[in-house]
Amino acid sequence: MSSTVSSAPFSKAVVGAMRKLYPEALADKAWDNTGLLLESPFDPIRRQMNSALLTIDLTKAVADEAIERGDSVIVAYHPIIFRGLKSLSLADTQQQTLLRLAAEGISVYSPHTAIDCAPGGLGDWLADIVSGTPMSAEELAAQAEEKQKEQAKEPETPSQGLKRPTAQLQHHPSQLSIKDRTLKLGNDTHTRRPITPCKAPGYENTTAGMGRIVRFNTPQPLLEIIDRIGRGLGNPKGFPIAIPQGKTMEEIDISSVAICAGSGGSLFSGLGKNGEEDVDLLFTGELSHHEALAAIEQGKCVIALFHSNTERGFLHGVLKPQLENAVKEEWERVRQEEKNKAGLSEDYLEALEDDHVEIHVSEVDRDPYGIMISKDEI
């Protein structure tokens, strides 16, 4: 007689809550691989805690963290499985991580571009930081409605003495959010819209979409925007900024900002072309040398924080409290639904009786790049 194989019931609750918060229909399935990437079977001998671990990247260190605590599921923003696999081998570090997690009964879920695209998601979180003025869901919806009635608007690198790095490598402390830090709020109103509106059924004519364009009613000093970004993303010791040659940061005012978490090159490529509105500032995690050079030659400024440093603070500031609330409700639903099924083992039924819920943000997840700080600057 064959036994039914099922994942841990709490993992089902976390996945269900994530799908309600950030529907997979919002993800760009043309290239992205979102969803439940590893569904590990429930193991009564190695029963996991009712806890989930949030991370940007699922590395070996993050897997160790989840295994040590006994988390039931990892919500990894970036998909650890991106392309088709022909085998699973211990020789490959990512595949090794997946195999270890499966053996421990830990599942893996990736939301990626569903979070990027969602109203109130990662794009709007970054727009809140840039503008210094968070917008409510009602305000975002009102702007989306107004945008439908409007026609699209047509509208020297600063010297830095090179110092030999002699001290320590510092990684970006982007584990705090706009809610955790005091931002210098802009006294100005602004509008925002997606760079590429979402075309998924049911999301047309909403604020869903990839990237954001923030347009200020009154131009804002570049230094003021830099200060907002620094405060909003954990006051990093430094990050790359590119400005047109012959200009100084003190004299530059910004009327519009294009925002893309992670890597913005492809999303920004259509700005100013074929009737698309252009912007003064590109804000992203990374831009290639030639993309940045082209931007400043066109008179734009560029702020790049390293890829995942534009993403990580969202976990603490937005996703953790969201998921804590959503998963409690979903866990109650899953418990009632599962209890009505026939043939459940005593161990599985025991797991359903556990009403404890924990959501953690990884303490070891970080961008691979750090900034070497000279002893003179410490």
Please check whether residues 121 and 107 belong to one and the same domain: no
Q: Which amino acid is at 155?
A: P
Q: Last residue of a domain, which of 294, 310, 326?
A: 310
Q: Residue 109 belongs to what domain range? A: 9-115+313-364
Look at residue 2 and tell me if it is in a domain. no
Look at residue 339 and tell me if it is in a domain. yes
Look at residue 74 and tell me if it is in a domain. yes
Please check whether residues 278 and 339 belong to one and the same domain: no
Q: Is the pLDDT of residue 260 over 80?
A: yes
Q: Cα(77)–Cα(323) distance, rounded to whole angstroms?
A: 14
Question: Does the annotation list 290 as a binding residue?
Answer: no
CA atoms within 13 A on the CB side of 215: 15
Please check whether residues 142 and 279 belong to one and the same domain: yes
Minimum mean pLDDT range among 40-44, 107-111, 157-161, 330-334: 157-161
Question: Does the annotation list 116 as a binding residue?
Answer: yes
Q: Cα(101)–Cα(97) distance, rounded to whole angstroms?
A: 6
* pLDDT at 183 (0 to 100): 44
Tell me if 216 sits within 8 A of 225, measured CB to CB: no
Look at residue 205 and tell me if it is in a domain. yes
**Confidence band, pLDDT 50/70/90 cuts, at residue 195:** very high
Please check whether residues 304 and 204 belong to one and the same domain: yes
Residue position matching structure tokens 């608007």: 153
* pLDDT at 135 (0 to 100): 60
User: pLDDT digits over 218-246, tens only?
Assistant: 999 999 999 999 989 886 777 889 999 99
Q: Cα(129)–Cα(312) distance, rounded to whole angstroms?
A: 14
Provide the β-strand partners of residue 76.
55
Please check whether residues 274 and 347 belong to one and the same domain: no
CA distance between the termini of the chain:
67
Q: Last residue of a domain, which of 295, 310, 325?
A: 310
The DSSP letter of residue 308 is G
Calculate helix-pair angle for 222-232, 122-131, nearest 10 degrees.
130
* pLDDT at 171 (0 to 100): 52
Please check whether residues 46 and 101 belong to one and the same domain: yes
Q: Is the pLDDT of residue 279 over 90?
A: yes
The phi and psi torsions of 259 (rounded to 5 degrees) equal: -125, 135
Look at residue 378 and tell me if it is in a domain. no
Please check whether residues 181 and 269 belong to one and the same domain: yes
For the chain, give the mean pLDDT.
86
CA distances from 198 to 94, 248, 310, 337, 362 (A): 31, 37, 21, 33, 30
Q: Last residue of a domain, which of 279, 295, 310?
A: 310
User: pLDDT digits over 169-194, tens only?
Assistant: 455 544 443 344 344 445 458 999 99
Please check whether residues 330 and 294 belong to one and the same domain: no
Tell me if 60 sits within 8 A of 365, measured CB to CB: no
Q: Cα(186)–Cα(280) distance, rounded to whole angstroms?
A: 17
Look at residue 372 and tell me if it is in a domain. no
Please check whether residues 197 and 320 belong to one and the same domain: no
What domain count does the chain have?
2
Tell me if 141 sits within 8 A of 207, measured CB to CB: yes
Whichever domain contains 17, its CATH number is: 3.40.1390.30
Element (H, E) at 3: none
Please check whether residues 259 and 199 belong to one and the same domain: yes
Look at residue 294 and tell me if it is in a domain. yes
Please check whether residues 328 and 253 belong to one and the same domain: no
Following DSSP, what letter does each residue of 131-173 receive, concatenated? HS----HHHHHHHHHHHHHSPPP-------------SEEE---
**Confidence band, pLDDT 50/70/90 cuts, at residue 152:** very low
**Confidence band, pLDDT 50/70/90 cuts, at residue 159:** very low
Please check whether residues 268 and 322 belong to one and the same domain: no
Among the listed residues 213, 330, 333, the one whose alpha carbon sits nearest the alpha carbon of residue 281:
213
* pLDDT at 141 (0 to 100): 59
Look at residue 43 and tell me if it is in a domain. yes
